[in-house]
Structure 1
């Protein structure tokens, strides 16, 4: 191996996914690398240009990935040593979403996709590394994929009334450039008068230099002045919020909005250099943010919470589908997308319940006080229902005296019927098996639900195991969650009494045949409506959901229903298998994305896809998501002693 190839290989081996390669494969890749020297100011590839037959690794220097906007250019990513970018070539011939600008003289390794195809075929770890990057919505695939997950978790922390005010980077915020200011010595009353005259809700306090030293808002006047009995002649410095959180006016929407969420701000001060040691040049309010968000979840959720017109709710849910398409096509992270869609679906259910309760109030005056809980089951219970696929839900209510039992049964059944009617009108599909809250069988008091689960656990017939696979993923959406908690505790108590139930579940989890046949090709449907199509749900997703559920139940983990979150938790519980569980979670996210894209593209539930429609790399990435299925099934087989277990 010559000196240059050796140096290339040594460098690449420092970073994933190249650190996963066997020495022979690493040398082969290094031999094919084209070393490019790029000077400051050059463009490696422009936005909109068809993807080249290679991807890139930054050896040294600095490269910015920028997006053209109506206001010029916006920096989306800053590439650092070892970062992999231009990876969209791996997904097929599609244009670059961003322009790569050379900020400092740089050395880049260009790696031909053709060379890497063979690596992807034989090394599932490498394939899943790239696929996980795509699933995480990464434009640049970095050393530690978990950093993307950590960053996205910030957006899910509660902020005000909604915990999911997710945004689109396409948004533009209207900035107030004429900012009201006063000095620290200004009396509180004088500052309030300035705010009243200008009809604004805040005033910035600036020092002699003109730099911001504090901010006073309407809320501060209420809480810190009137409520605290502070004399209005006191200086604003006594009650202002200080120091001030600041950003640059040129910062993108994501940066500004995230700063407001992290610091729980209603107003954000903008300065020339983004610090408090710089002149003030603008102000943003949370109202400005809200107006800028257009077709974002925050706006959709706000609209849903303020209407009970079913036709309007349908229109809003249709808009959510458009937003979903945007997120999927731009490779936004799947946990991010799933959380958003779950929140929207939950709000629709909540509004449907309010509609139903109002409609039934006069006919059932005593029933409104009976505690109940609306349960989502199946994929919606797992927070994975992206498309408006089959509904699976139920109603759980508190046991009532015998004299009221028939009335309660009738009330909650009618309530369930009204909810289902609204959900169907909003575009969701009815469950073919009628596992819905308009079916008397699934509208029951707590005692009956406990008996149901006890029966399924103690007598695990094939029908009972089928119901278990759906009902064990229940999630309280609206109502009294303590009822659901009590039912959960009952389930674990019953499983402790009959540990063999887990082995029955293990057998059931092994029923799904492997996704690939003897010749390593997709097993497709042999006849019927979906002949020659691959069952993405039944052969790939269902095995993973079954396996995750079984393992979580075996560890008695409460409160985690989502499949990829279950695998994440399992990785913490069983460190020896962390890597396998991480691969399984990432594989499931990829499968969710594929199914949702298939469904949106073909206006169906996305369950069946034509393998012939996939490009070579897409086929290989899909095949590699099957690897953890086989490994997990082998683990289950041994752990639950299925060779020795007989019904």
Structure 2
């Protein structure tokens, strides 16, 4: 039984969203999977049939998802190896909209909804996978599961033409007009030789009128010919994909892209009238699409996960900033925007770690088994780093035997140095205080990290409280998250021992006065480089960040670092103060948007704002965000008896 479970897990982890799962979660899913064999001609589920308590992953074979229309039964999607389908059971618990026709004998994995729902709730990356599809019109995500659900309403409010949001600022996309073709009688070997000579990855099989009958790709040659031992002398019609999905060359980019997405196509055949009953006049590949699209989260993340070139990673992150600007200007939900930008930043970090580990593998073979976790802190730890502002990160690794201590320290320092070098090359700013994973102080085994936090909690000096404001927002990004969870548990145990620590934190949260002066004007910098400018970060955002952190710690809430999500959680926990907390959360979202737009406009970190440059409405909006600060400061002053601590 374990052998079968392991094989299922090995297969699933090759494909998203299963590739995003922790090992334990993946194994739990694999244990619950039902393996089903269905024969050619069968129907797995039918249109309008009640959804089953499973969704499906295609292991082997081909399944068409079809829809009945006035023209008959039309193919809406072609499922191939690793494709997830029948997701309405997972996402909506509503009848199936399509039929599933088994085109080739198929092996499927049926995944119970009950198992996967728990994963969706706790794994942001899996939720974002579905949310990104939802934003592109592919997947309908149930409200209580999707991080991006609120974004859907914003998408619709911001533009009547849904495609404008996904495809804004697109460049011209490339269409191959000289399409390689052959007749259905052509041998497989001859077709392969034609593809090799033309240096292309596909060939269209056409009749005497050049009407498309099918398509053969490099992948088909591997999976349908070589892997199955079919003679290359057989006609190409035996192994081609048929029927083909077609569109007109004149169709707009969004129509072409969504057709490829919905049908899982790597190549789309273009004909004169868009049907299979007219001559082929073009071909577009998914590679061409990826090169053409600049601002789709799914495309950017896909591109990042498929490159190890640092210069290319930098270009993709630059494109993400263009996407960010569009989202901000069109009032897309900050929940969705911050989730997308966090995911992009996290993928960059993960790729940087893979590059660094690969370079160090031969030099440190004994380190392969040592568990570690890369932590993001500060704004990135709170999932709020929209711009490439300064880095705050660290490395935590398992305690090792004394004989490996020096080697481990050397390895993780070199690993951290290489990761930071890559992140800087991708356009991120270094931390002025050097709180980064290339600083030996912040590359430590778990026991040392526990000592750090114990010291800060038990002896809350001004310096310790300053560190607490950064380090308490740590978030595991890559590696073994269990180490981060162990550290979190230790922190709460220590706080329980010394409840007064929260009061000391409260004094820090009161150090910044409300941002408006006696005459209701903005308190601006009096001198220096930023004279007469308003410090958005220090005077407005940090007080809200500090207050949210303090209150969440007092409730021992684990796993919520984001400031506006912390306020949302506090509103649930304290209904009597819910209006204040929700107002504070909304204020923080507005400040995040303002800072990011200012940074993009000025080409800096957006921290300092000239109040004179704001219009009347903008000034009033900014002032409105300040009102929760003084109310929250009054609340914690009473709750944590801060008058006593400030004497």
The answer as to whether partners of 1:324 and 1:337 remain within 8 angstroms in 2 is no
Which among 141, 146, 149 is matched to residue 151 of structure 2? 149
* Alignment coverage as a number of residue pairs: 488
How many angstroms apart in 2 are the aligned matches of 1:221 and 1:573? Answer: 58
Q: Does 1:323 align with 2:322?
A: yes
The question of whether the paired residues in 1 share the 8 Å contact of 2:380 and 2:392 is answered with yes
Give 5+ residue unaligned stretches, structure 1.
Answer: 1-135, 137-145, 155-164, 178-192, 203-214, 229-239, 271-281
Question: Larger RCO: Structure 1 or Structure 2 (Cα < 8 Å, ≥ 6 residues apart)?
Answer: 1
CA displacement 1:38-81 (0-9 Å, x = unmatched): xxxxxxxxxxxxxxxxxxxxxxxxxxxxxxxxxxxxxxxxxxxx
8 Å contact from structure 1 (residues 266, 285) kept in 2: yes
Distance 1:314 1:411, change over 3 A: same
* Matching of residue 402 in structure 1 with residue 402 in structure 2: yes
The residue that corresponds to 1:611 in the other structure is 611
- Alpha-carbon distance in 1 for matches of 2:363, 2:220: 47
**Residue in 1 aligned with 2:571?**
571
CA distance in 1, matches of 2:149, 2:359: 48
For structure 2, the 5+ residue unaligned runs are: 1-134, 136-147, 157-164, 178-189, 203-214, 229-240, 271-281
* Preserved contact between residue 506 and residue 550 of structure 2 (Cα < 8 Å): yes
Post-superposition shift, 1:340? 3.2
Give the conservation status (yes or no) of the 8 Å contact 1:381–1:473.
yes
| Alpha-carbon distance change, 567 to 286 in structure 1, aligned in 2, over 3 angstroms | farther
Q: Which residue of 2 aligns with 1:306?
A: 307
Taking the aligned partners of 2:387 and 2:602, their CA distance within structure 1 comes to 12
* Aligned-partner Cα distance in 1 for 2:266–2:641: 58
- State how far apart, in whole Å, the 2-side matches of 1:253 and 1:494 are: 57
Contact 2:356-2:415 at 8 Å conserved across structures: yes
Residues 382, 474 of structure 1: 8 Å contact kept:
yes
Query: How far did residue 422 of structure 1 move?
Result: 2.3
Residues 531-550 of structure 1 show CA distances to partners (whole Å, capped at 9, x for unaligned) of: 21111100011111112222
Residue 592 (structure 1) aligned with residue 592 (structure 2): yes
Structure 1 partner of 2:132: none
Query: 2: distance between equivalents of 1:263 and 1:570?
Result: 43
Counterpart in the other structure of 1:541: 541
Change (3 A) 1:503 1:379: same
Q: Secondary structure at the match of 2:645?
A: coil
Q: Report if aligned partners of 1:524, 1:534 keep a CA contact under 8 Å in 2.
A: yes
- Per the alignment, residue 350 of structure 2 pairs with 350
Assess, with a 3 A threshold, how the Cα gap between structure 1 residues 569 and 267 changes in structure 2: closer, same or farther: farther
TM-score, L = length of structure 2: 0.59
Distance 1:567 1:438, change over 3 A: same
Preserved contact between residue 305 and residue 351 of structure 1 (Cα < 8 Å):
no
* Cα deviation 1:316-371 (Å, max 9, x = unaligned): 15633651564266335233333333233223322332333233333323123211
Deviation at 1:408, TM superposition (A): 0.9
Judge which range, 507-516 or 592-601, deviates more.
592-601
Question: Do the aligned partners of residues 412 and 147 (structure 1) sit closer, same or farther apart at CA in structure 2, a change above 3 Å counting?
Answer: closer
**Distance between the aligned counterparts of 2:483 and 2:390, measured in 1?**
25
Partner of 1:523: 523
Matches within 5 A, 1:233-632: 289-294=289-294, 296-297=296-297, 298-299=299-300, 302-303=303-304, 305-309=306-310, 312-313=311-312, 315-316=314-315, 319-320=318-319, 322-324=321-323, 326-327=325-326, 330-333=329-332, 334-632=334-632
* SS of 2:640 mapped into structure 1: coil
Distance 1:426 1:283, change over 3 A: closer
1:194–1:434 CA distance, 2 compared to 1 (3 A): closer
Alpha-carbon shift at residue 475 of structure 1 (Å): 1.4
How does the TM-score come out when normalised to structure 1? 0.59
> 1:503–1:642: 8 Å Cα contact kept in structure 2?
yes
SS at match of 2:519: coil
Shift of 1:392: 0.8
TM-aligned CA distance change 1:368 to 1:558, over 3 Å: same
Q: Matches of 1:552 and 1:266 in 2, distance apart?
A: 47
Query: Using a 3 Å threshold, how does the CA distance of structure 1 residues 476 and 245 change in structure 2: closer, same or farther?
Result: farther
Contact 1:374 1:393 (C-alpha < 8 Å) held by counterparts = yes
Asked if structure 1 preserves the Cα contact closer than 8 Å seen for 2:506 and 2:640, the reply is: no
Aligned 8 A contact 2:537 2:607 in 1: yes
Q: Is this contact kept in 2: 1:446–1:487, CA < 8 A?
A: yes
Instruction: State whether residues 168 and 296 of structure 1, in contact with CA within 8 Å, keep that contact through their aligned partners in structure 2.
Output: no
Change (3 A) 1:402 1:423: same
Residue aligned with 2:406, SS: helix
CA contact (8 A) 1:216 1:241 kept: no
Q: Deviations over 1:115-148 (max 9, x none)?
A: xxxxxxxxxxxxxxxxxxxxx9xxxxxxxxx974
Contact 1:171/1:253 (CA < 8 Å) preserved in 2? Answer: no
TM-aligned CA distance change 1:253 to 1:520, over 3 Å: farther
- Give the deviation of 1:488 after TM superposition: 1.5
CA contact (8 A) 1:375 1:393 kept: yes
C-alpha distance in structure 2 between counterparts of 1:316 and 1:428, whole Å: 13
Q: How far apart in 1 are the matches of 2:518 and 2:532?
A: 17
**Greater CA drift, 417-426 or 394-403:** 417-426
Residue 553 of structure 1, CA deviation: 2.0
Are residues 494 and 633 of structure 1, via their aligned partners in 2, closer, same or farther at CA, if it must alter by over 3 Å?
Answer: same
Conserved 8 A contact 1:296-1:323: no
Distance in 2 of aligned mates of 1:255 and 1:558: 43
